[in-house]
Every structure is written in structure tokens, then in C-alpha cells.
Structure 1
Amino acid sequence: MSRRLLASLTTLLVCGGLAAPVAASAAPGSAARTAACSAPNWTAGQWYPAGSVVRYTDGRYYRAEHDNPGYDPVISTWYWEPYSCEGGDPAPSGFVVSEAQFERMFPNRNSFYTYSGLKAALSAYPGFANTGSDTVKRQEAAAFLANVAHETGGLVHIVEQNTANYPHYCDTSQPYGCPAGHDAYYGRGPIQLSWNFNYKAAGDALGIDLLNNPFLVQNDAAVAWKTALWYWNTQSGPGSMTGHTAMTGGHGFGQTIRSINGSLECDGRNPAQVQSRIDKYRQFTGILGTDPGGNLSC
């Protein structure tokens, strides 16, 4: 497990939608949808119980997934979900990987890593696998999942296997320390989030108190996937760009390896590990029916 020195926070963009006005003769259930579409404006600091629907400042609607004291719906995506006035369902994610393709990629996965958990996490970073051409979208999804497969042994491991490392992931120089315990910030989830400062940064970005509750990453599939997407979309690690930028900017899969574990694998340090990631990426682009592109190595 490498030490990933991550910076924090990103601006999250979440989409929603508005329905057409409901006629007087509308079918049963329309009144509820009309009420949702005329929901009150979101107010910072106001208490919202789970199920509350609000109109955000950009005109889009959000529904509280969990009770919260007025967290910003665009930032605190664990507490809020995009809400469509048409039927009251969350806005669709439009993910380029089908459930059947996901199962082909991870035939031996741990049941914790659900496809539905991944889909639920997509609202946190709607630009992921949804930017550029269809080819680029599929390449980014394949790149992310290939690195995830490498990090977790094919989505088998939820937590870091080397327990001897656990006490090492507490940076006591941080002013907030390690409130969950000095050995509580070991690697968890699809990209094996580790270190107290990374849990703090990811939690702040996602609106989840992961510093005090790091175990959420191994107990809640959507939270686990969100931490991986947080890293992918906002952190460059030992590289010079995020995984998202590497794939959407045409820099190639090799730069995603560098951003995740480049200090230990790239520039000839561990060519076997690099090749393992590349092989998995080629396999996944094949499953998605797209070309892997160039610049695969680092």
C-alpha cells in the first residue's frame, strides 16, 4: 500500500430536471409531482429530515437521503440525491457500463461491491465516464475499473490485507489527529483509501464524517465507491493530473497509473505491476467494445 498524499475538495456538479406543468385533469399521482416541483428553496442551516425535497439555487431539485442540518446538496452528496420531478425518481446516471458488463469484469467479486452501489455513487461526480465522445466515456470507465481491479484483487478485498500496516496510517501532526483510533485509517474500498488526512479530505468533499467514522467505507457500498470516485476525479497523487483528466484530456491510461501509484510503479520501478494494470485495462475496453487508445504505460 503506497502513501498517497492527497489534496482535498472539489466542486461537485449534479444534474436534475423540471417537469411540465400538470393539467387540471392529470392522472392520479400528478398532484404529488406538482408539489415536488414547487418544493421550497434550500436554506443553509435549516434542518431537513430524510425525504425532504428542495429547490436549489440553480433551479434543480434534490431529495434528502439522510437527515441533515442544511448541508449544501451540491457538495454533500451522501445526504442529498438529484431529484426528478417526473415521478419523483433520482435523475439517471447514464453509466456506460451495464450490469452484465460489470459482472463480466468482476466474476469473482465480493458481494459488498455491488453494481447498484456504484450507480448510486455516480451522482457525486456526474462528469465521470460522461465527458467527451462515447469512446472517451468508455475508456475512462474501463481505466477506472481496471485500476480498481488491480487495487482490490478483482473487487475481492474490501480492506487492506497487511494488518501490520494499520497503525502506520495516523499522521499525528494533523490538528484533528486520529479520533477513531491510531489504527483505524487503513486502506479500504475500491482504491484503498488510507491515512487520516485522506479520510478527512474525502469526507469533507462528500459531506460524510469519515474522519470519525472511517468504517463507513467498508460497511456502505455507495460510500466506498464514492471515495474511489473522489480520488479519481479530484486527486493527482504522485502524478501531475487526476485520472479523470488523464482519460478525458487524451493523456492515456499510463497517466492514471502514475496518479494512483506512480511513485512505486512508474519509470521502471515495478514494470510487472504496470503491465498488470495495462492488461486489465485492455480486457475491460474489450468488454466495453472500445479501443484502448495510446500511451498505456508510465
Structure 2
Amino acid sequence: MMKVSVWIILALALVDLAIVVNGDDSEKTVVKTVNGKKVCKRGWECLDWSEYCCNETISDFFQPYQFENLFSKRNTPVAKAVGFWDYQSFILATTSFQHLGFCTTGGKTMQMKELAAFLAHVGCKTSCGYGVATGGPLAWGLCYNREMSPSQSYCDDFYKYTYPCTPGAEYYGRGAIPIFWNYNYGAAGDALKEDLLNHPEYIEQNATLAFQAAIWKWMTSVKKSQPSAHEIFVGKWKPTKNDTLAKRVPGFGATMNVLYGEQVCGQGDIDAMNNFISHYQYYLDLMGLNREDAGPHEYLTCAEQAAFNPATSSPSASS
């Protein structure tokens, strides 16, 4: 399982090296110039030299009370993952990705918007809310940490030479943005250095790992020729002519497209798509941002976008 103690020891060792103070000794920033470019380390959240570590870290603008506000019903008796998800596990998970730009790209408004967008996907995919649920249907994110009634084992023999299914293992949906299928567990395990192919159950046993897998999915391209959801959202993706013809434009809508394709996108104004958008706008509100910050409707929606990965094109187009 995760080497959490090692990270904590390294974080404490770096505290005394800080040279630029930002109020909290645990969040001191160390700055240097490499090839004319400013790079930083910043506290235990941003331990690797990176231009992104020169910005605020997530805990600077996202506090435990905000996590509680966004996911206020996750520990109610009817929730299916009571006691599993918590703020500390989320922040610890982000330390593997903040130096890569996860919610540390751009100014504070962009950082907060990306966090709201990512958590909107999390909240929507793990919600057990419904129309008349107490607190409203958007307050029930992180209700689940696993698929409750799997219809299959999600073993695809197409990948038997790269990510063969382990006898007895079940690759049903688990996590904050659920992972399905042996090849996705295998790829996530390779990236996170965890044996998820043989032990997919680790995802539902460790909240930090579950959040890490979701962030990995947000930060990673499905195919090398395509952008990640992160690149789309922070403006690092420049649509090609084919993207423009397919009506794919940068924004929250295209993050739905690259993650879920035609399950959500290209079908007009459907509930499945609007539910993600509603979560995003709700989280923007709770984080103190204006809904206008989300951009015009064409950036919010993917109603008319052709899928990046049509379901018939490749097995890897699956969730």
C-alpha cells in the first residue's frame, strides 16, 4: 500500500530548507532558476521542483470546511461509504500531482475552477442524491466508493498479454471517478506504483489511493493524440481542424467528452450531461466563485460535440 510515512518524513525534512516564507512554516516556498526559468518547491504538498509549485497549493484556497460543504451528506446513515472519504485523504492524494499542475496551474481563480470542475466529476459519479433528497440532489457526492451491483466482472481478454485478468479479481467500478476494466486498473496501477491489476480492491480500501486514481484519470490522456481533461480545462489544448468540425471546444464540456464520450456527449440536452454541469455550478457557488466564471454555455456543454473516443472505435473507449 501507499508509503505515506515516507512522504511525511520527506516533507518535514524540507521545511528547514525554505527561503521564501508565506505565513505558514509548513508552506514555505523554495525558489531557484533553472535555464532561466523559475521553479519552486512549496511545503509538503509540492515537494518536486516545478513552475507550478511557485503558485498557491490546494490547501491554501480549499479548506476542510469547504470539503464538508461540498460533500455534506457523505456520512449520513443511508450513504454507502460512511467514514471512507475525508479531506486529509484528498489533500494527501493531490501531493502526487500538484507539481504537475493539478489545481496549481494559472492564477488562483483558474486553480479554484479546476478544483471545482474535478470535484464536480467526482460528486456526480459518486452521488446517491435524487430530486427530493434532504439538502438537495447535489449535496450527496461521495456517497459511494464502489459499484454496488456489478453486471459483470469487466475482464477484457483483448488485453491478456498486457493486463491479463487475475483469477478471482473483479474489475467493477471503484473510486472517486470510478475505474472499470482490467486494462484501466493495470494502467492506473503502473502509474501509481500499486498492484491494482492483482488487487483492484485496494481502491475501495484506501481513500487516498481512490482519490489518486481519480486525479490520475483527470491528468492522463486516454490516447497519446488526445488531451487530458486537465489540459482541456486549463487551456493547454488547442483544438485541431477536426476538433472544430466535431464542435469540440475547450471548457468543462470537453472534459466530459474525453472522460465519458457518447455516454454523455453528442446527444443533445440530456439529463446525464446536465447533471455534471449542475454539480460544477453548485461547487463554484460553494467555493465562492461566480457561475459566470465557468464561461459561456458552449464551453459548459458537450451536447453537440462528437465523441473523442466513439464506443465502437476501441475497447479503451470504455470507462
What TM-score, normalized by structure 1, do the two folds share?
0.66
User: Residues 288 and 267 (structure 1 numbering): CA distance in 2 closer, same or farther, change over 3 Å?
Assistant: same
Q: Is the 8 A contact 2:171 2:182 kept in 1?
A: yes
Q: Distance in 1 between matches of 2:40 and 2:215?
A: 26
C-alpha displacement of 1:19: 3.0
Match of 2:230 in 1: 244
User: Residues 205 and 179 (structure 1 numbering): CA distance in 2 closer, same or farther, change over 3 Å?
Assistant: same
Q: Is the 8 A contact 1:136 1:248 kept in 2?
A: yes
Map 1:79-118 to 2 at 5 A.
Answer: 82=47, 94=59, 96-109=61-74, 110=81, 111-118=83-90
Map 1:1-298 to 2 at 5 A.
Answer: 17=14, 19-20=16-17, 82=47, 94=59, 96-109=61-74, 110=81, 111-126=83-98, 127-153=101-127, 154-165=141-152, 167-171=153-157, 173-175=159-161, 176-181=163-168, 184-236=170-222, 240-249=226-235, 251-268=250-267, 271-290=270-289, 291-294=293-296, 295-298=299-302
Q: Distance in 2 between matches of 1:20 and 1:227?
A: 31
Q: Distance in 2 between matches of 1:20 and 1:162?
A: 50
Alpha-carbon deviations, 1:198-228, whole Å to 9, x = none?
1111111111111111111000111000000
Amino acid at match of 2:143: V
Q: Is the 8 A contact 1:129 1:138 kept in 2?
A: yes
Q: Is the 8 A contact 2:154 2:182 kept in 1?
A: no
Q: Is the 8 A contact 1:191 1:228 kept in 2?
A: yes
C-alpha displacement of 1:180: 4.9
User: Residues 180 and 216 (structure 1 numbering): CA distance in 2 closer, same or farther, change over 3 Å?
Assistant: farther
User: Residues 270 and 171 (structure 1 numbering): CA distance in 2 closer, same or farther, change over 3 Å?
Assistant: farther
Q: Is the 8 A contact 2:173 2:180 kept in 1?
A: yes
Structure 2 portions without partners, runs of 5+: 1-9, 19-38, 49-56, 75-80, 128-140, 237-249, 303-319
Q: Distance in 1 between matches of 2:155 and 2:147?
A: 12
SS in 1 for 2:91: helix
Q: Is the 8 A contact 2:172 2:180 kept in 1?
A: yes
Q: Is the 8 A contact 1:171 1:197 kept in 2?
A: no
Q: Is the 8 A contact 1:136 1:247 kept in 2?
A: no
Amino acid at match of 1:218: E
Name the structure where helix makes up a greater proportion of residues. Answer: 2
Q: Is the 8 A contact 1:278 1:297 kept in 2?
A: yes
C-alpha displacement of 1:118: 0.4
Q: Give the CA RMSD over aligned residues.
A: 3.3
Alpha-carbon deviations, 1:37-89, whole Å to 9, x = none?
xxxxxxxxxxxxxxxxxxxxx998xx9xxxxxxxxxxxxxxxxx949xxxxxx
Amino acid at match of 1:249: G
User: Residues 95 and 268 (structure 1 numbering): CA distance in 2 closer, same or farther, change over 3 Å?
Assistant: farther
User: Residues 214 and 20 (structure 1 numbering): CA distance in 2 closer, same or farther, change over 3 Å?
Assistant: closer
User: Residues 277 and 93 (structure 1 numbering): CA distance in 2 closer, same or farther, change over 3 Å?
Assistant: closer
Q: Is the 8 A contact 1:106 1:155 kept in 2?
A: yes
Q: Distance in 2 between matches of 1:259 and 1:213?
A: 27
Match of 1:9 in 2: none
C-alpha displacement of 1:113: 1.2
Q: Is the 8 A contact 1:96 1:141 kept in 2?
A: no
Q: Distance in 2 between matches of 1:188 and 1:118?
A: 16
Alpha-carbon deviations, 1:6-38, whole Å to 9, x = none?
xxxxxxxx99947359xxxxxxxxxxxxxxxxx
Q: Is the 8 A contact 2:277 2:300 kept in 1?
A: yes
Q: Distance in 2 between matches of 1:224 and 1:95?
A: 22
Structure 1 portions without partners, runs of 5+: 1-13, 22-57, 64-80, 84-91
SS in 1 for 2:200: coil
Q: Distance in 2 between matches of 1:215 and 1:180?
A: 13
SS in 2 for 1:164: coil
C-alpha displacement of 1:117: 0.7
Q: Is the 8 A contact 2:104 2:111 kept in 1?
A: yes
Amino acid at match of 1:113: W
The count of corresponding residues between Structure 1 and Structure 2 is 223
Q: Distance in 2 between matches of 1:158 and 1:236?
A: 22
Between stretches 95-104 and 218-227, larger displacement belongs to: 95-104
Amino acid at match of 1:195: W
Match of 1:86 in 2: none
